[in-house]
Amino acid sequence: MSGIENKSFVIIGLASAGILAALYVWQAADRKELPDGLYMGNGRVEATEVKVAAKNPGRIVEIRPKDGDDVEKSKIIVRLDNREALARLAQARAEYQRVSHSVHSAKADIERRTRELAYARSQLERTRKLSERGIVSQQQLDRDNTAMRTATAALDAAQAVKMQSEAQLESAQAQIDLYGVIVSETEIRSPISGRVLFRIAEPGEIVQAGANILLLANLDRLYMTIYADEIAAGKVNVGDEALIWTDAYPDKPFPAKITYISSEAEFTPKQVQTSEERQNLVFQIRITALNNDEKLLKPGMPGVGLIRANSNIPWPKSAPRQ
């Protein structure tokens, strides 16, 4: 190989080395460490999950939303068969009407028995006075005395019947209230405004009390779980400001706050870090997004969470990288 060729290879080698060095410097600068007091962790956006369940057993007639559909709070999303509950409600109302007549009859009977007792009492008083003057016999006095005691007993019995009828009326009203609630609960309303993750049951299925039918995601309660060492965890508190950056929106940070810090250290979960880093003890920190009105954040989005030890430390202007 000639001297000229050797020089060419040297020049090319030096140029390549220079390019590699420049590339390394550029990448290193791009991945520069965060300023002191800022701490970052990888994670995925997660949603608070809400299970929609049947309070009472029954057959599913209709499930209105499909997987992935958005639902509004208080809107009917599931209907159960209500025919049996409606029949029992009608039966309870009929019983209420029957017992109501009994109560009215008992009240009328009390009024009649009260008049009879008043008459028997006045008659006994009159007979007693006449007996003292010797005008009527002791036998008449005894008859009037018996009549007064009989009228008193009759009034007491009528009052007992009225109390029993009123108790039955209260029981009938309670049955109406109960089956009224059961009928209303055959229409299951969404407890939140969110998104259907998946349908656990389908129309036609018979579900037991407490059985889950739908799983919803609360898109207004999105969070990211990151892991920090004891130094970072010890310098932040629940309620401190945080940021969430996602790969989908690298130029848009989402304001958040720390809502949970684990009280005990744990080994870094296997799905988060490398095998070597899993040997480190870390603290779990949950940061919750403050606003997702535009619904840009979605469960499953990968990204990073950023926390800081001091509110005076400025946030970075672009998404940090590890």
Q: Residue 194: inside a domain, yes or no?
A: no
Higher pLDDT, 72 or 318: 72
Helix (H, G, I), strand (E, B) or coil at 206: strand
| pLDDT at position 270 over 50 | yes
**So what's the pLDDT on residue 275?**
42
The CATH number assigned to the domain holding 98 equals: 1.10.287
Q: What share of the chain is helix, strand, coil (3-state, %, to 5)?
A: 40, 30, 30
Residue scoring higher pLDDT (177 or 3): 177
Domain count, the chain: 1
Is pLDDT above 60 for 159?
A: yes
% of the chain beyond a pLDDT of 90: 58
Task: For residue 165, give its domain range.
Answer: 83-184
Q: Is residue 179 part of a domain?
A: yes
d(CA 126, CA 121): 9
What's the chain's average pLDDT?
A: 84
| Model pLDDT, residue 30 | 39
306 domain-assigned = no
Other CB atoms within a 10 A radius of the CB of residue 243 amount to: 24
Q: Which two tokens stand for residue 314?
A: 């400025």
Each residue's pLDDT tens digit, 296-305: 898 999 999 9
Both structure tokens of 179? 């089956």
Residue with tokens 């007993």: 153
Q: How many CA atoms lie within 13 A of 28 on its CB side?
A: 6
- Alpha helix (H) residue ranges in the chain: 3-30, 83-132, 138-184, 230-235
d(CA 203, CA 205): 6
Q: Give me the pLDDT at residue 269, please.
A: 67
Angle among Cα 253, 34, 267 to the nearest 5 degrees reads 90
pLDDT of residue 20 exceeding 60, the answer is no
Question: Is residue 225 domain-resident?
Answer: no
Q: pLDDT digit string (tens) for 132-143? A: 888 888 888 888
How far apart (Å, rounded) are the C-alpha atoms in residues 269 and 301? Answer: 18
Query: Residue 286 falls within a domain, yes or no?
Result: no
Least confident of 119-128, 145-154, 265-274: 265-274
Per-residue pLDDT at 320: 77
Q: Does any domain span residue 254?
A: no
Distance (Å, rounded) from C-alpha 313 to C-alpha 309?
8
Q: Rounded to whole angstroms, what are the CA distances from 123 to 17, 56, 128, 130, 201?
A: 131, 62, 9, 11, 77
Residue 314 lies in a domain: no
Q: Has residue 268 got a pLDDT over 70?
A: no
pTM of the model as a whole: 0.65
Torsion, Cα of 193, 194, 197, 200 (10° steps): -10
Kindly state the average pLDDT of the residues 113-125. Answer: 90
Q: What percent of the chain has pLDDT above 70?
A: 85
